[in-house]
């Protein structure tokens, strides 16, 4: 049990991946504790498109005020960190002035990180620092090099900030671009700015003393396998609810822009939302007047696009969970008593939603607001205990870019590098490289019968036999049983055929041959 006082500036933040029930929990808490909800989902800030962005319906809101939802036009760029932080803090102050409880909920966790941590590195050093007050589009106009190919930007970054250049994957354009943008805007390397922020954060943490943390956090969590099935079903429901109409309207919008000579960047704004990109092949086929597609083929393409959307949704859910584990929990662990305010709500079994999520969350929120002792976070459920135990023992991600010349694979963390060099693919290619180095370009015939009587035996009743040599070995012992004489012939051989090494044995003109 954690003793505490009632918060002077109460704030509830609800985290979790898509499909876990964050919005539903937020509404439940708001109806019971005079709450108002602040949206922290970047795509749900855009006006319209309620299906593709998975917005909570008016009916589901149950009269609870929702802020920063349906807030900006489709033509506007996605809010940068500072935009969200400024507007969210303004709304939070207004809610508190009315005597109500601000509840922040959403899956864009670099937004929530910005609210939680005063000197947050905004979710990692690849994102913009807190003083980056211009959009990507504006930055591109001010600094044309940011519009150059990724390799050009990386070369410039390596020149001005080699620390950051060595940190990112060479294909990660966004992080490379942002690191260079920070240098161009501030005249100082991003690595220096982040180092100063880290030192300042440590100093403030030490000076704040114990008991400084006041925000209540709920992490709504579902078993990954159960969540996958739930997300697939949700995408199916989106299709029946009118997903096709929304993607068609987006497609027509793109066509209008292109007809006017404007290109739409699918990596920015509302176009990042899952659904349109996945369905674009179907939309092109459906709307192409110069090509007639058979109905069966069109339906097949539609089904493929639907599966792609499901896969993207599942991948995004994994990304959100990984973000919480690696970029929200570690800074919480550095704050006095913050982890005592992080509660995992198990939403795996929807049939037990009230008993597993609503009831314990309401009790915890009541205790938090009244200043009563909070329960131990690990005591709320077995799953909560397991998840919190796992994040408590997880290793800090160490950034270090390394490239495997054998596999042509680049890793950006020590953990990924260790995983790669232990992978089956890597070890297979290493053995293959060693084998090629030993055999070089030779193509020898090398058959050495160990049992001479096998050579004199009648030819076995078998077709050509080829056994691929396990990569890395240049010598292999193999054999085939003569079905007539039951004599087992053992062979040692090395050979090279089309770049693949392996033993080959068959009966040719009265004798065994292999190469």
pLDDT of 204: 61
Domain containing 409: what range?
A: 403-439
Of 290, 312, 334, which residue is a domain's last? Answer: 312
1 in a structural domain: no
Per-residue model confidence (pLDDT) at position 409: 85
Place of tokens 């033993």: 503
Six-digit token string for 48: 């319209």
Residues 200 and 251 in one domain: no
Asked if 155 and 166 touch (Cβ cutoff 8 Å), the reply is no
Tokens 């942002």 belong to residue: 178
Last residue of a domain, one of 312, 347, 379: 312
| 169 and 220, same domain (yes or no) | yes
Flag whether 59 is in a domain: yes
Collect the ranges in the chain with pLDDT lower than 70.
Answer: 1-4, 118-138, 140, 198, 201-212, 395-400, 438-515
* d(C-alpha 115, C-alpha 105), whole Å: 12
Query: Strand 496-497 and strand 12-16: pairing?
Result: unpaired
416-461 pLDDT per residue, tens: 888 888 898 898 888 888 877 765 544 444 444 434 444 444 444 3
**Residues contacting residue 320 through CB under 8 Å, at least 6 positions apart:** 16, 17, 18, 107, 109
Question: Whole-angstrom Cα distance, residue 127 to residue 138?
Answer: 16
CATH number where 288 lies: 1.10.287
Strand partners, 344: 219
Query: How would you class 468 by CB atoms within 10 Å of its CB: exposed for 0-12, middle for 13-18, buried for 19 or more?
Result: exposed
Same domain, 329 and 421: no
CA angle 369, 97, 360 (to 5 degrees): 25
- 152-171 burial string, b = 16+ CB within 10 Å, else e? ebbebbeebbebbbebbbee
CATH number at 64 reads: 3.40.50.300
In a domain, residue 301? The reply is: yes
Are residue 103 and residue 213 in the same domain, yes or no?
A: yes
Do 251 and 102 belong to one domain? no
- Confidence at residue 172, expressed as pLDDT on a 0 to 100 scale: 86
Regarding whether 186 and 37 lie in a shared domain, the answer is yes
Same domain? For 108 and 210 the reply is: yes
Would you put residue 337 in left (φ > 0), alpha (ψ -120 to 50) or beta? left
Residue 126: per-residue pLDDT: 44
Contact at 8 Å (CB) between 270 and 74? Answer: yes
In a domain, 7, yes or no: no
Residues 327 and 384 in one domain: yes
Specify whether 30 is located in the same domain as 114: yes
Chosen domain end from 312, 343, 366: 312
Alpha helix stretches (DSSP H) within 327-460: 329-333, 353, 359-370, 382-393, 414-421, 424-439, 452-456
Residues 75 and 136 in one domain: yes
| 4 within a domain of the structure (yes/no) | no
Within a domain: 355: yes
Token duo for residue 488: 């087992």
Q: Is there a domain that residue 103 lies in?
A: yes
Domain identity same for 42 and 168: yes
Tell me: do 45 and 99 sit in the same domain.
yes
- Let me know if residue 6 belongs to a domain: no
Count structural domains, the chain. 4
pTM of the model: 0.69
């Amino acid at each position: 049990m954690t003793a505490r006082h009632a918060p002077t500036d109460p704030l509830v933040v609800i985290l979790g991946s898509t499909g876990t029930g964050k919005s539903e929990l937020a509404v439940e808490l708001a109806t019971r504790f005079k709450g108002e909800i602040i949206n922290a989902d970047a795509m749900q800030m855009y006006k319209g498109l309620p299906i593709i962005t998975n917005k909570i319906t008016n009916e589901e809101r149950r009269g609870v005020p929702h802020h920063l939802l349906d807030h900006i036009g489709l033509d506007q760029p996605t809010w940068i960190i500072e935009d969200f932080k400024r507007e969210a803090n303004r709304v939070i102050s207004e809610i508190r002035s009315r005597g109500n409880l601000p509840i922040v909920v959403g899956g864009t966790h670099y937004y929530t990180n910005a609210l939680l941590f005063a000197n947050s590195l905004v979710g990692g050093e690849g994102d913009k620092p807190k003083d980056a007050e211009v959009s990507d589009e504006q930055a591109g106009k001010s600094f044309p090099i940011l519009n150059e190919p990724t390799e050009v930007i990386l070369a410039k970054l390596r020149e001005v900030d080699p620390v950051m250049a060595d940190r990112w994957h060479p294909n990660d354009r966004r992080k490379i671009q942002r690191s260079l943008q920070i240098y161009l805007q501030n005249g100082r390397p991003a690595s220096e700015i982040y180092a100063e922020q880290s030192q300042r954060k440590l100093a403030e943490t030490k000076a704040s003393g114990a008991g400084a943390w006041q925000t209540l956090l709920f992490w709504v969590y579902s078993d990954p396998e159960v969540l996958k099935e739930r997300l697939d079903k949700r995408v199916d429901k989106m299709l029946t609810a009118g997903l096709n109409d929304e993607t068609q309207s987006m497609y027509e919008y793109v066509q209008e822009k292109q007809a006017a000579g404007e290109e739409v960047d699918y990596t920015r704004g509302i176009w990042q939302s899952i659904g349109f990109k996945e369905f674009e092949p179907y939309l092109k086929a459906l709307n192409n007047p110069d090509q007639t597609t058979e109905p069966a083929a069109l339906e097949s393409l539609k089904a493929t696009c639907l599966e792609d959307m499901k896969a993207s949704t599942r991948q995004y859910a994994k990304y959100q969970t990984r973000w919480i584990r690696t970029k929200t929990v570690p800074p919480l662990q550095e704050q006095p008593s913050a982890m005592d305010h992080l509660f995992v709500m198990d939403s795996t079994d929807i049939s037990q939603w009230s008993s597993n999520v609503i009831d314990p969350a309401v009790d915890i929120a009541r205790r938090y607001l009244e200043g009563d002792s909070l329960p131990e976070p690990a005591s709320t459920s077995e799953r909560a205990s397991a998840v919190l135990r796992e994040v408590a023992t997880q290793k800090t991600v160490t950034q270090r870019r390394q490239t495997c010349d054998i596999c042509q694979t680049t890793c950006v963390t020590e953990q990924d590098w260790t995983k790669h060099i232990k992978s089956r693919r890597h070890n297979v290619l290493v053995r293959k490289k060693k084998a090629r180095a030993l055999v070089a370009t030779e193509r020898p015939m090398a058959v050495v019968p160990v049992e001479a009587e096998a050579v004199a035996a009648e030819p076995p009743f078998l077709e050509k036999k080829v056994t691929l040599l396990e990569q890395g070995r240049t010598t292999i012992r193999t054999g085939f049983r003569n079905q007539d004489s039951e004599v087992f012939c053992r062979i040692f051989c090395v050979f090279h055929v089309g770049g693949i090494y392996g033993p080959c044995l068959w009966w040719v003109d009265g004798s065994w041959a292999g190469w």
